Chains A and B, each alone.
Chain A
Amino acid sequence: MIMLLLGQRFAQAQNVITVAAYPAVDSIVKSALPAWKKTHPNVEVKIISRAYADHHTAMTTALATSSEPPDVMVLEYSYVARFATGGGLEDLGSSAYGLQNHDGKFVPFALQQAMSPKGQWVAVPADIGPGTLLYRKDLLEKAGLEESNLTRSWDSYISAGLTLKKHTGAYLIAHARDIKDLIIRSKGKPTEGLYFDSQNKVLVDSDRFVKAFELAKQIRDNKLDAKVASWSNEWAEGFRRGHVATQMSGAWLAGHLNNWLAPATTGMWRAAQLPENTWAAWGGSFYAIPKGAKNKKLAWELIQLMTLDPAQQLSAFKSQDAFPALISVHDDPFLQQPIEFLGGQKARLLWRESARNIQATQVHKLDPFAEEVVNTELDKVLDQGKDIRLALKDAQKLLERRARR
């Protein structure tokens, strides 16, 4: 009898798979559980949810020590490449998994982003953040401007900002840094990374950085930015009070604005493509399997449900604004629906176009450090009037020193 009980317990213990996730991917997995139970009635799914930063620190530690890693690991866009270089994740393109059979099914840039330098697919994209320009239509009208004034070119974006400031008092953008981020992301060559090329050469003194710094400085010199960092209290307050007229971000920001950032501004916002037909992505979630996972087969089955099942992808899109990485969902009638917060605009069609045009960027393990170095030099240019060329040269020097190691 005891043996029987023990045996049962053992069998049960085998049938639990763990998923480590952050909000709101944890809710997305949770809502997929009824569908999972239909095909796997005996397999429990245990979701371990942590705050965004804590989650990635915990995952780093789990891979570092290989002790009890989860079976399924959710990773955010910027961490996928960092983890890919480490080699602690399963190659999902291998015959055991067969991700290569689904190659054409995902938005190309997202799948490419999940490829390690050694050519292994270490993660599967679940949702993406196609870039968009959200703007306050009411403020634009007050200043006698149209959407094309913002999007035609970067120069016209800035001159629209001057008009806006004069007539409404609103800032064009939350922080001049946001422009820099976008331009260095969008103007690179496909073979280059953001800050380094594939030969480890530092690219920080190239023309796109000069252009990015010049535009940011133009914005600051004309007092067009509110000088507030994203996700700060002042950032949210600026949206609530209509002090900031535009924001470039992932499409998901419209959902955040509607849900909690500035729900009272419903109907005042619109979405547009980024200025000068720029295509860029902000964030996105991926699923991966650590090499030390115990239930790899079941983990892969769950990942397939989350990423390849159109019904799950669509439900995550509807409930959490998670824009699907699975292309077949992009033709669903849901994309044609007007969005109330954006004054009835069918913005999801815009975002679909953006999603298809985004190029993947090569990621380097020093990217987080490089970003910090470039931001610091930009601060010096904006606040202390440092010469742009000199600033970029200093950044180049600092990065070359690290890259040599």
Chain B
Amino acid sequence: MMRPTQSTDLKKIANLRLTPNQVPYVLLAPFILLFLIFGLFPLCFSLFLAFQTWEPTSGLATMQFVGLENFIFTLEDEWFWKSLQNTFWLALVSGLPQHLIAIPLACVIHASFKRTRNAVVGAYFLPYITSTVAIAMMFSTLFSTDYGLINQALSLVSQLPFVGELFPNQATDWLGRAQNIKPAIATVVFWRYVGFNTVLYLAALQTIPKYMYEAATMDGANRWQQFWYITLPNLKPMIYFGVTLSLIGGLQLFEEPFILTNGTGGTDQSGMTTAMYMYRTAFEFNDFGTASALSWLLFLCVALLTWLTNCAFKSRGGSA
């Protein structure tokens, strides 16, 4: 047998070397591979499932094509519309105050806190990075009817003279009564995300040049006018970004209501969001086809509303 010469060895190595054209693909390969497996495949599979009926415990072979049946069924399903109403209510009531409070809060922190600023921002940001399960469990303890701190505090306040009459003197059933569940969930969601939005707005505030405020002061503008005519217009791109995130997150709300209502949506399902209904349809009611159809309908809602938000922000200022 002949040993290959040194020059052929080198040639072989040279052949292995990547050409500049190949480099991006090779470097991107790990991401693309993971994306294909965990991103694109489930997406396509769920779209495929949305047109099938399937008893999951019989194996993959038992799927049957049913056309648009799952979509039609879902659109005629009163529980789907109920869950959608719940979702919109929660997204609005928990989402809007997040921004209405985060903007002034960010301004106050920006203007007034110097040395302790990071600590204050950190305190507001903490709920965002805490595990949802821990948060929801803590709040279900706080909301407890007979033993919860919230009701105990309310009963103390209700015994005060004058203001006491404004508060209920009977224990409120926060997570058991249909009309109380949504406000309770919205409170938790608001508490959790207000800090995140504050950080967004703080970052935006830092980019507004100081000279604009100095010029305004020279022109005799008061603080309110400065806020209204300088701060707010300059925050607009960040408001657009924040509102879009809140909208998408709010419409996909799952964890907080799931844990606070023990996975059921609570009395009269008044805390059952569409994402929860989707999960239950698949894993509790064993109907993966309808659940997939539901998820695509929810996606359409999210896409539509995001587009409308985009239009709303564009139409007034010309660009978002």
Contact = CB atoms under 8 A, between A and B. Distances in A.
Given A233-B144, A398-B78, A383 B60 contact: no
B46 interface: no
Contact of B57 (A64, A237, A366, A368): A64
Contact of A64 (B53, B56, B173): B56
Contacts of A144: none
Contacts of A226: 146
A227 B173 contact: yes
B283 interface: yes
Interface residues of B, number: 31
A38 interface: no
A355 B146 CA distance: 36
A98 to B, nearest CB: 24
A60 B285 contact: no
Interface in A6-56: none
B144 A234 contact: yes
Nearest to B70: A405
A60 B57 contact: yes
Nearest to A83: B57
A88 B59 contact: yes
A347 B310 CA distance: 68
B225 interface: no
A229 interface: yes
Interface in A52-107: 57, 60-61, 63-66, 82-83, 85-88
Contacts of A238: 146
Where chain A touches its partner, the secondary structure class is helix
A379 B57 contact: no
A60 B283 CA distance: 8
A266 interface: no
A82 B57 contact: yes
A365 B59 CA distance: 16
Given A66-B59, A232-B262, A57 B283 contact: yes
A400 B73 CA distance: 13
Contacts of B69: 405
Contact of B268 (A61, A66, A369, A380): A380
Interface residues of A, number: 36
Contacts of B145: 227-228, 234
Interface in B72-130: 73, 78-79
Given A60-B286, A229-B262, A405-B73, A234 B146 contact: yes
Contact of B284 (A87, A229, A368): A368
B58 A88 contact: yes
A85 B178 contact: no
B178 A237 contact: no
A376 B269 CA distance: 7
Contacts of B178: 379, 383-384
Contacts of A88: 57-59
A380 B82 CA distance: 15
B152 to A, nearest CB: 14
Nearest to B76: A401
B73 to A, nearest CB: 7
A366 B285 contact: yes
B141 interface: yes
B244 interface: no
A388 B260 CA distance: 28
Contacts of A383: 177-178, 267-268
B283 A82 contact: no
Contact of B285 (A234, A368, A376): A368
A379 B267 contact: yes
A87 B177 contact: no
A65 B60 contact: yes
A234 B147 contact: yes
Contacts of B165: none
Interface in A207-266: 226-229, 231-234, 237-238, 243
A63 B54 CA distance: 12
A387 interface: no
B46 to A, nearest CB: 14
A309 interface: no
Contacts of B53: 405
A63 B57 contact: yes
B264 interface: yes
Contacts of B268: 376, 379-380, 383-384
A171 to B, nearest CB: 10
B274 to A, nearest CB: 16
A82 B267 CA distance: 25
Nearest to A394: B78
Contacts of A234: 144-147
A276 interface: no
A81 B133 CA distance: 31
A83 B59 CA distance: 11
Nearest to A243: B146
Given A61-B56, A83-B57, A85-B55, 12 more contacts: A57-B283, A60-B57, A60-B283, A60-B286, A66-B59, A226-B146, A227-B176, A229-B262, A234-B145, A237-B147, A368-B285, A369-B285
29 contacts: A57-B283, A60-B56, A60-B57, A60-B283, A63-B56, A64-B60, A83-B57, A85-B57, A86-B56, A86-B59, A88-B57, A88-B58, A88-B59, A227-B173, A227-B176, A228-B176, A233-B141, A365-B286, A368-B284, A372-B264, A376-B268, A376-B269, A379-B268, A383-B178, A383-B267, A383-B268, A398-B78, A405-B53, A405-B69
